[in-house]
């Protein structure tokens, strides 16, 4: 039955001219109704594929490519990094590393106003560079730091906001799962995406610390320092001697820079920072070991403890990021080494057991399957969407925006920010990014820069009230009701959901400020190109030496071809060394 007989002509014409926007709008409706993302994507792709076949807008043989697309997704080596980094983060969460870090760094920054908040941000950045999993960071810091911050009178909004925001650093500081997905969707190397996100991630942590400083200056009671009796890492005479740690830091930094300048060819970039940090870590660790073994008493107890606690995560950072930046390992291989290092660290701390392995393996399988099913659904959706020329509709829509490149960037970032209220970063990366990428490339926008910018923007999906996952994670471990503090013996009020939401709002604004900075100063991302040698085609000159004309031989005989076995004599090459018959016509050379 022709399409005109099945449906009214007006409806048929409307569908034919607006197939792509109708398809996209139907997906949004399904998502808002609460259907699982993977099944909503796949169902939309199949249903609109049948509709497109009925109207003659979609070729049926497109569906024959679907098995190959599914197999290609399953065969993607880059996506193997997702389960590796997830497993590494979950094992580290249970290895006690976060607890040791928060306790020691809290003692280091404790006397400073807002010191515990600075410690949470610092440890959050370290956990982000080792785990790459938001849930692990937020839950660990919520269980360990939040009771201490409440015990010493921190404002509940500031405390909850700092913990939730510091946990989201795992999505921008490498090794980040969202950066792996972004690199896959934008068809760019994961190593370039990691290197480009290095500086913005550290700057975002610095902006968090700047907000804590401003809050503590405006309202000192919101972030008090630790009292003297809470500082337990003291020497025998009762002094902390923080100057000792400063001396160790100066010696290690000087030695590391000297080694890099003398023996390394790497002089700039993120790989230089990682290698210098690793060399300084080894020097500091050697000093701390010698001080303990030889009982030199050159380092204070606090300085020695800080060094021993900082070495495992920094060693893991070098094992994962250092090998990727230097080019020794791919992100997948780096993730595998990181997972192995996390198991060794858990074994050294005596936390390795069958229960830990079972929990980490099950959680990794769930998250990996979640991501894979969304990706497969997105493949089905994109096959139909591209088949009805939806990508051209999106590209024309985005490239025709007023303002050119600037208008495109503003529109895309506003779109991601609004969608982040309802979708998480996996869904955004698999649905929206493949539609944005071709239009950005058409406008001449560097896709690594765009990917890092949107990754910073996607962080807001973890802090958006009321659907932010980081807020849900913190709510699950934060005390709701009044409880008896086990140290002070006093009743402490719990934290309300409204306080958690209000505490997250300033950090959402800070993330938007960071997006603006990435747009205004692209050099903080584009430095990843400095490690790649550039060649100007205009400067290329090819000189082929030719002998003088007098030296050229007058008679150049072509080489005789070897006799090809199995060919008849008629097909064999003529032998130029034999004289030609008298009656034969002259052979053209």
In this predicted model, what pLDDT tens digit does every residue of 350-405 receive, in sequence order? 888 888 888 888 888 888 888 788 888 888 888 888 788 777 777 777 777 787 78
CB within 8 Å of 118: residues ≥ 6 apart: 109, 112, 209, 212
580: its two tokens: 């030609």
- The structure's pTM equals 0.76
**132: number of Cβ within 10 Å:** 30
Q: What is the 3-state secondary structure (H, E, C) of 292-360?
A: HHCCCCCCCHHHHHHHHHHHHHHHHHHHHHHHHHHCCCCHHHHHHHHHHHHHHHHHHCCCCCHHHHHHH
| 85 neighbors 132 (Cβ within 8 angstroms) | yes
In angstroms, what CA-CA distances link 361 with 300, 333, 372, 376, 426? 40, 18, 16, 22, 20
pLDDT in tens, the chain (589 residues): 444 444 455 555 666 667 778 888 888 888 778 788 888 888 888 888 888 887 777 777 777 778 887 787 777 777 788 888 888 878 877 777 777 787 888 888 878 888 888 988 988 888 887 766 777 778 878 887 888 888 888 888 999 999 999 988 888 888 777 888 888 888 888 888 888 888 899 899 999 999 999 998 998 888 888 777 777 777 777 777 878 888 888 999 999 999 888 887 777 766 677 788 888 888 988 988 888 888 878 888 888 888 888 888 888 878 787 777 777 888 888 888 888 888 888 888 888 888 888 888 888 888 888 878 888 888 888 888 878 877 777 777 777 778 778 888 888 888 888 888 777 777 788 888 888 888 888 888 889 999 999 989 888 888 877 677 888 888 888 888 787 777 667 777 888 888 888 888 999 999 999 999 999 998 888 877 765 544 455 555 655 555 555 554 555 555 554 444 444 444 444 444 444 444 444 444 4
Closest CA to 525 of 271, 203, 198: 198
Handedness of CA 178, 180, 181, 183 (dihedral sign): positive
Contacts 24+ apart (CB under 8 A), 187-190: 187/437, 187/447, 188/447, 188/448, 188/451, 190/78, 190/81, 190/324, 190/330, 190/331
Structure tokens at 394: 């999106």
What DSSP string describes 361-388?
HHHHHHHHHHHHHHHHHHHHHHHHHHHT
Q: What angle do CA 551, 554, 557 make, to 5 degrees?
A: 115
Residue 510 structure tokens? 């800070």
Which regions of 370-443 does DSSP assign to beta strands (E)?
A: none
Strands 483-484 and 491-492 come out as antiparallel
Neighbours of 377 (CB within 10 A): 23
Q: Which residues contact 221 (CB under 8 A, 6 or more apart)?
A: 153, 155
Helix axes 177-186, 433-442, angle to 10 degrees: 50
């Amino acid at each position: 039955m022709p399409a005109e007989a099945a449906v009214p002509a007006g409806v048929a014409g409307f569908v034919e001219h607006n197939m792509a926007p109708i398809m996209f709008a139907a997906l949004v409706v399904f998502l808002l109704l609460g259907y699982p993302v993977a099944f909503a994507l796949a169902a939309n792709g199949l249903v609109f594929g049948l509709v497109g076949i009925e109207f003659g807008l979609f070729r049926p043989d497109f569906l024959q490519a679907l098995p190959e697309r599914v197999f290609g997704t399953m065969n993607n080596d880059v996506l193997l990094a997702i389960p590796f980094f997830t497993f590494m983060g979950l094992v580290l969460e249970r290895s006690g590393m976060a607890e040791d870090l928060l306790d020691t760094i809290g003692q280091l920054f404790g006397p400073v106003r807002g010191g515990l908040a600075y410690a949470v941000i610092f440890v959050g950045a370290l956990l982000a560079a080792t785990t790459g999993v938001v849930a692990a960071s937020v839950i660990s810091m919520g269980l360990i730091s939040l009771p201490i911050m409440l015990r010493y009178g921190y404002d509940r909004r500031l405390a909850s906001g700092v913990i939730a925001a510091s946990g989201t650093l795992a999505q921008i500081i490498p090794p980040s799962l969202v950066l792996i997905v972004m690199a896959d969707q934008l068809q760019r190397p994961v190593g370039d995406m990691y290197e480009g996100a290095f500086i913005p991630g550290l700057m975002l942590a610095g902006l968090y610390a700047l907000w804590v400083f401003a809050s503590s200056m405006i309202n000192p009671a919101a972030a008090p320092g630790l009292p003297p009796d809470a500082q337990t890492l003291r020497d025998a005479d009762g002094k902390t001697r923080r100057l000792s740690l400063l001396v160790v830091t100066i010696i290690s930094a000087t030695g590391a820079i000297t080694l890099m300048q003398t023996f390394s060819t790497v002089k700039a970039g993120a790989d230089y920072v990682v290698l210098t940090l690793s060399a300084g870590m080894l020097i500091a660790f050697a000093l701390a070991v010698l001080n303990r073994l030889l009982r030199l008493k050159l380092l204070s107890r606090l300085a020695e403890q800080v060094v021993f606690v900082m070495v495992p995560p920094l060693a893991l950072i070098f094992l994962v990021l250092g090998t990727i930046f230097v080019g020794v390992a791919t992100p997948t291989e780096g993730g595998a080494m990181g997972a192995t290092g996390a198991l060794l660290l858990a074994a050294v701390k005596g936390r390795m057991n069958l229960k830990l392995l079972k929990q980490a393996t099950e959680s990794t399988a769930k998250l990996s399957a979640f991501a894979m099913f969304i990706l497969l659904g997105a493949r089905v959706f994109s096959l139909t969407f591209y088949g009805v020329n939806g990508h051209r509709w999106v590209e024309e829509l985005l490239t025709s925006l007023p303002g050119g490149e600037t208008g495109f960037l503003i529109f895309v970032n506003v779109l991601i920010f609004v969608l982040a209220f309802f979708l998480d970063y996996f869904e955004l990366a698999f649905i929206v990014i493949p539609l944005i990428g071709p239009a950005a490339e058409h406008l001449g926008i560097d896709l690594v820069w765009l990917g890092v910018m949107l990754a910073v923007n996607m962080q807001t999906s973890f802090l958006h009230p009321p659907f932010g996952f980081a807020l849900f994670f913190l709510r699950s471990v934060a005390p709701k009701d009044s409880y008896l503090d086990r140290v002070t013996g006093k009743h402490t009020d719990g934290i309300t959901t409204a306080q958690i939401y209000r505490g997250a709002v300033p950090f959402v604004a800070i993330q938007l400020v960071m997006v603006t900075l990435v747009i205004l100063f692209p050099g903080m991302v584009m430095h990843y190109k400095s490690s790649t040698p550039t060649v100007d085609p205009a400067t290329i000159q090819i000189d082929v030496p030719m002998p003088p004309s007098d030296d050229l031989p007058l008679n150049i005989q072509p080489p005789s071809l070897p006799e090809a076995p199995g060919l008849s004599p008629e097909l064999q090459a003529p032998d130029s060394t034999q004289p030609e018959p008298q009656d034969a016509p002259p052979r053209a050379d």
